[in-house]
Amino acid sequence: MAITYDSDQRIFHLRAAHCSYVFQIQKNQQLAHLHWGRPLQEPADAASLITIEGRPFSTQLDPEDQGFTTEFMPQEFPAFGSGDFRQPAFEAVWSDGSRVTDLQYQGHEILPGKPQLGGLPAVYVESAAEADTLLVHLADEAGLAVTLQYSVFAEANVITRSVLLRSTAQEPIILDRALSTSVDFTDSDFRLLQLSGAWGRERMVTERSLTQGLQAIESARGASSHQQNPFLALQRSGSDEHQGEVFGFSLVYSGNFLAQVEVDPFLQTRVQLGINPRDFSWQLDPGETLQTPEVVLAFSDQGLNGLSQTYHRLYRTRLARGAFRDEPRPILINNWEATYFDFDEEKILAIARQAQTLGVELFVLDDGWFGQRDDDHTSLGDWFVDTRKLPDGLGGLGTKINQLGMKFGLWFEPEMISPVSELYRKHPDWCIHIPGRRRTLSRNQLTLNLARTEVQDYIIEQISSVLQSAPIEYVKWDMNRHMTEVFNPELPASRQRETGHRYMLGLYRVLEEITSRFPHILFESCSGGGGRFDPGMLHYMPQTWTSDNTDAVERLKIQYGTSVVYPLSSMGAHVSAVPNHQTGRITPMEIRGHVSMFGNFGYELDLTELNAADLECIKQQIAEYKAVRQLVQQGTFIRLLSPFAGNETAWLVVSEDQNDAYVGYYRVLAEPNPRHYKVKLKGLDPHKRYRIEGTQWSLGGDQLMYAGLNIYQIAREIRRRRGDFTSVALRLRAEEGR
């Protein structure tokens, strides 16, 4: 059993594959956190894991025991207002206006498997043997029952946490904060890692050391956002990509979130994640419940790569769902950067015909096929085909693309409405707005109020009828603005701060319904690129458009940062034209291919305008990607050299049996008279020999890892090629019987 309860010491010991998580019921019936990290033998000794002692000025909960205080006690789910002055995990306002909370242990259950969370995305199991679940029931006598849910994975260093809050009061209670997790550490000897950025430079690896006080990231934009990702890691001092302890916190949610770290006066650390309390509250009427989103806690004693690999495996196989979860993802061509809004059927078919000769498998028709949408000012919401551009409709175009031997895919932006649209003329009140106040635009559009059931139903039916009307096998689900004037006229004044979370619950209902109605369709989410690249969306759609920035050099950082949490099988990565549309940079076709091949590969340019040499290069890239596709999409990804650290980037993917590997190496700027570049590979079998395809070299896994891959000797073209932006991708195959 992965979860034990020692009734003598009153401690719970949760054992995931190679880590322990231990907490204890204190004499005041509150839960104190004792340990999370490397596994401890049973029984863990509670008394020596925790120090509870009074300090000058500290609160005293028990007049008989002056040293007993929660003020500095590491806790499991800290309450508010009676002894702990650090950040609480939840806050309740009782009917008399008082706000003190005090959660006391009532009982617990240990269950095989992992129950699903009502209406929210979450990690799942396929058999009860994969995880055990602990439910700890707590109660505040003022009228709140709280169940802490922990699921412990047998084969991964993963513990998921979420919380169910239920009112037992006679009068409504207001929850002003309901975070999903709170974990205390007894020191702060960590570097904090977060994935921060902006549109076009999402998920930049950002690190800082901890200091006394609060350090937080958040989104209050109505989406998880380009600016911050709902993820934090604490890296032990001295750890790096390959060794040392790292603790990960990943929130399975796509809306406003808070991820914060507080260091107290004794340099203890509290980490908390959940729905952003800013602009949130939730009214619980008697008997009602609120389920918080899930946080996936992961532990690695093999550095940041070890942590990433844990998330990759879990999110690829037990967060993503559907027919495409384990299937090879098609190589696609998307017409956005080729045509923007300016296309007709002949133009689309010309690109598709060229794509087919090169081996592309899927054509994706992007924005501009519906209503009167010749630019981004109109038509969102009017999901009927523009026959000026596509006289034979989507059915006609889809059939012609199918006849070329390719699949057909379509772009939508279902959550939005243009003020210039038929939908807006009919339903001006369906957008998020405050009656009588300005409706702030962004990209000339407004957001539909998905907190309203009739709006959800409308989207489900509209999108379903388009998907039924044509042979569509892929959908790109876009979302291109953040929320303002957040208000829901259906709710009373006192409940307005529920709107943001109600929108997310509505969105998840829509996604669940549409993805289960059309199981043969591969869905890719998008939000102006990677503005909603989060585990919540990955539960419904197994891949995401990583960024609108398609520049190969920028993509090194974006994909490197994204890979801290998300698997390669979740990252859309396309070769685009030069000069690059976002940066103006001119890079060779080779590096654009070599970067994109470490993701779900595709193209985003006008193939009819390329010269013969580029077309030949693309043909080879497609053949190469088909050969490595399964390895890239399902292998173990390892970061080797960071683009955040210098001029070189390197990474590789290794198959589970260690017989197959694919290495990407990139040098951004040329150097005169360069040094001897060597990259120490990882993850190979030191006892095997690997043939490096396309070269005369066959080298031991030990040599490749401990002495390094001699880049200039093995990839001679890198040295010969002059100029900036050089790269190579090498396939390594273990030799039979060696």
Judged by the rule CB under 6 A, the positions of this chain that interact with ligand DGJ are: 336, 366-367, 411, 478, 480, 526, 528-529, 545, 548
**Nearest by Cα to 98 from 85, 79, 84:** 79
Min separation Cβ 528 and ligand DGJ, Å: 5
Q: Which is nearer to ligand DGJ, 185 or 363 (CB)?
A: 363
**Nearest by Cα to 589 from 406, 693, 729:** 729
Contact yes or no for 389/341 (Cβ under 8 A):
no
Q: Which is nearer to ligand DGJ, 79 or 338 (CB)?
A: 338
Q: Please name the residue ranges forming H helices in 111-243.
A: none
Distance of alpha carbon 615 from alpha carbon 356, whole angstroms: 12
Contact yes or no for 202/530 (Cβ under 8 A):
yes
Tell me the pairing of strands 600-604 and 332-334.
parallel
Q: Which is nearer to ligand DGJ, 480 or 570 (CB)?
A: 480
- DSSP class of residue 378 equals B
Q: Which is nearer to ligand DGJ, 89 or 410 (CB)?
A: 410
Q: What is the dihedral of CA 93, 95, 97, 102, to 10 degrees?
A: -50
State yes or no: is 548 an active-site residue.
yes
One-letter identity of residue 239: S
Q: What is the dihedral of CA 51, 52, 54, 56, to 10 degrees?
A: 50
- From residue 282, give the alpha-carbon distance in Å to each of 70, 141, 175, 495, 499: 27, 19, 5, 7, 9
- DSSP class of residue 330 equals P
Q: Hey, what are 318's tokens? A: 């037990």
Q: Which is nearer to ligand DGJ, 161 or 476 (CB)?
A: 476
Min separation Cβ 183 and ligand DGJ, Å: 35
Question: Whose CB is nearest to ligand DGJ?
Answer: 367
Kindly name the residue from 478, 534, 551, 660 that is annotated as catalytic: 478
Q: Which is nearer to ligand DGJ, 273 or 526 (CB)?
A: 526
- In a 3-state reduction of DSSP, which class is residue 560? helix
Q: Hey, what are 322's tokens? A: 């559907």
Residue showing tokens 């360069």: 674
Distance of alpha carbon 149 from alpha carbon 660, whole angstroms: 40
Q: Hey, what are 696's tokens? A: 């005369």
Q: Which is nearer to ligand DGJ, 380 or 684 (CB)?
A: 380
Q: Hey, what are 590's tokens? A: 């080779």
Q: Which is nearer to ligand DGJ, 274 or 561 (CB)?
A: 561
Phi, psi of 633 (to 5 degrees): -80, -20
Distance of alpha carbon 537 from alpha carbon 121, whole angstroms: 8
With 0-12 CB in 10 A as exposed, 13-18 as middle and 19+ as buried, what is 653?
Answer: buried
Give Cβ neighbours of residue 245 (< 8 Å, ≥ 6 apart).
37, 38, 235, 236, 239, 299, 300, 301
Min separation Cβ 507 and ligand DGJ, Å: 17
With 0-12 CB in 10 A as exposed, 13-18 as middle and 19+ as buried, what is 560?
Answer: buried
Min separation Cβ 409 and ligand DGJ, Å: 12
Distance of alpha carbon 696 from alpha carbon 417, whole angstroms: 58
Kindly name the residue from 382, 548, 551, 660 that is annotated as catalytic: 548
Min separation Cβ 200 and ligand DGJ, Å: 10
With 0-12 CB in 10 A as exposed, 13-18 as middle and 19+ as buried, what is 519?
Answer: exposed
Q: Hey, what are 444's tokens? A: 């000339």
Contact yes or no for 234/223 (Cβ under 8 A):
no
Contact yes or no for 623/651 (Cβ under 8 A):
no
- Of the CA atoms within 13 Å of residue 405, those in its CB half-sphere come to 8
- In a 3-state reduction of DSSP, which class is residue 268? coil
Q: Which is nearer to ligand DGJ, 226 or 433 (CB)?
A: 226
- DSSP class of residue 511 equals H
Element containing residue 375 per DSSP (H, E): none
- Of the CA atoms within 13 Å of residue 385, those in its CB half-sphere come to 21
Min separation Cβ 478 and ligand DGJ, Å: 5
Degrees (nearest 5) of the Cα angle 549, 555, 557? Answer: 125
Residue showing tokens 């002059």: 722
Q: Which is nearer to ligand DGJ, 30 or 527 (CB)?
A: 527
Min separation Cβ 379 and ligand DGJ, Å: 11
Give Cβ neighbours of residue 177 (< 8 Å, ≥ 6 apart).
88, 89, 90, 91, 274, 277, 280
- In a 3-state reduction of DSSP, which class is residue 548? coil
Q: Hey, what are 443's tokens? A: 């990209």
Give Cβ neighbours of residue 500 (< 8 Å, ≥ 6 apart).
222, 255, 256, 275, 276, 279, 280, 483, 486
Q: Which is nearer to ligand DGJ, 283 or 547 (CB)?
A: 547
Q: Which is nearer to ligand DGJ, 480 or 633 (CB)?
A: 480
State yes or no: is 478 an active-site residue.
yes
Q: Which is nearer to ligand DGJ, 462 or 642 (CB)?
A: 462
Q: Which residues are annotated as catalytic?
A: 478, 548
